[in-house]
Amino acid sequence: MIIIDKLVKNFSNRNGETPIGVVIHIAEGTAEQVASTFRNEEKSSHYLICRTGEIWRFVPEDLAAWSQGIKMNPSAQIVLDRPNANPNSYLISIEHEGINDITELQYNVSAQLLYDICSRRKIPLDRTHVIRHNEINKGKLCPAKISVEKLIEIAKSFEPKPPEKAPSWFRSFLLSLVSFLNN
């Protein structure tokens, strides 16, 4: 996974908060429009998943991107549990290039990034900790038709699989062989 830095000045400190969740957004425009907006307006996101499959980073994860906007009738438990905190201070944002939905390539790249963030930061890969932007602000349609459930499902496929146990007949054979060789 290659991440291209396109760092912007629109960020703040996390005020002692640690990221505990991820917010999924849709850009409602092209990658270049997003980059221009983040350079010229008081908005930003940590990452953008481009239609080409590139990942652009605008704000390092240890800083707060200006992506969540205002809280309005939030429904995400992670936000409801912190009524006096700014969601930017404890959430990581992933933006997606597009208007209404994203491509399969974007789903796969985004899920890979989501898995990486969650595994590094020990964030559970579930719907409590991976939320839609409109679960912070009910007035938003963002992230449109992006399925957060699908992103999580694909991300979980990157989890290492536990080693398979050898069949009992094979374990018995190996024990017999070791016993034979030791005599």
Give, for all 183 residues of the chain, the pLDDT tens digit: 899 999 999 999 998 999 999 999 999 899 999 999 999 999 999 999 999 999 999 999 999 999 998 899 999 999 999 999 999 999 999 999 999 999 999 999 999 999 999 999 999 999 999 999 999 999 999 999 999 999 999 999 998 877 777 777 877 777 787 788 887
What are the tokens at 125?
């890969």
The pLDDT assigned to 1 comes to 85
Query: What is the pLDDT, as a whole number, of residue 180?
Result: 80
pLDDT at 162: 72
Q: Parallel, antiparallel, or unpaired: how do β-strands 21-24 and 55-57 relate?
A: unpaired
Q: What is the pLDDT of residue 160?
A: 84
Tens of pLDDT along 91-106? Answer: 999 999 999 999 999 9
Cβ partners under 8 Å of residue 112, min gap 6: 1, 155, 158
pTM, entire model = 0.87
Q: What is the pLDDT of residue 159?
A: 87
Q: What CA–CA distance (Å, rounded) separates 105 from 54?
A: 10
Give pLDDT, residue 107: 98
Radius of gyration of the chain (CA): 21
Rounded-to-integer distance, Cα 49 and Cα 31, Å: 8
* pLDDT value of position 42: 95
Residue 131 forms beta bridges with which residues?
23
The confidence score (pLDDT) of residue 54 equals: 98
Helix (H) / strand (E) element for 156: namely: helix 148-156
pLDDT at 167: 76
pLDDT of residue 176: 81
